[in-house]
Amino acid sequence: MPRRKITQPPSLDADELPELSPQQQTFVQGLLAGKTASDAYRAAFDTTEWLASSIWGKASILANDAKVQVWLSAARKAQLGTAHITLDQHIRRLDRLAAIAVETGNIGAAVQAESIIGKVAGHHIERIQEVPADPADVLKTIAATAPDLAAMLAAQAGIPWTSADTDVTRH
């Protein structure tokens, strides 16, 4: 399958941003503060008599509004907002990216997303095991510059050591 063409959104100055209504501004500020779209919508509009499903639908429509998207993109580029992503949100995003990767035929990216999901969820732990070097090899390395020190360390550690073990040729 062909890959999707990647396009960069146009860079906008603050005066080039589209005008938002006060409710849209409150909604954008809520999203940037880390609220869900539904919570940001509740903060921006009076929804006391609404069903949750109605709020979800309206919040989704507003979150995908072109003007709101431009403002969110500009704010994120400017690194505004204090939103912190939760573990659940992170896993859902990675899962969505894996699905997109499969749909577009990018299996490598899908596998990578799955691997990262495993790490984030704590199912895959990277471990580094340091294998101690052979003490005799370490002593030989030390003996190359300080044979007496190597002999002393070998005696302290109870490692049999002779001057023939140094493999050092003196000139």
Query: Which pLDDT value is given to residue 54?
Result: 92
Across 25-29, 131-135, 165-169, least confident range: 165-169
Query: Which pLDDT value is given to residue 138?
Result: 85
Query: Which pLDDT value is given to residue 14?
Result: 61
Query: Which pLDDT value is given to residue 79?
Result: 66
Kindly state the tokens that stand for 132.
């101690």
DSSP type of residue 49 = T
Indicate the helix (H) or strand (E) that contains 159.
none
pLDDT at 151 over 70: yes
Count of Cβ atoms closer than 10 Å to residue 31 Cβ: 25
Residue ranges per structural domain of the chain: 15-77, 87-121, 135-165
List b or e across 99-118, with b for residues whose CB sees 16 or more CB atoms inside 10 angstroms.
eebeeeebeebbeebeebbe
What pLDDT digit, counting tens, does each position of 83-129 carry? 566 777 788 888 888 888 899 999 999 899 988 888 888 887 778 87
What pLDDT digit, counting tens, does each position of 22-71 carry? 999 999 999 888 888 999 999 999 999 999 999 999 999 999 999 999 98
What's the maximum distance between 2 C-alpha atoms anywhere in the chain?
A: 95
The pLDDT mean for the chain works out to: 82
23 within 8 A of 47, measured Cβ to Cβ: no
pLDDT at 130 over 60: yes
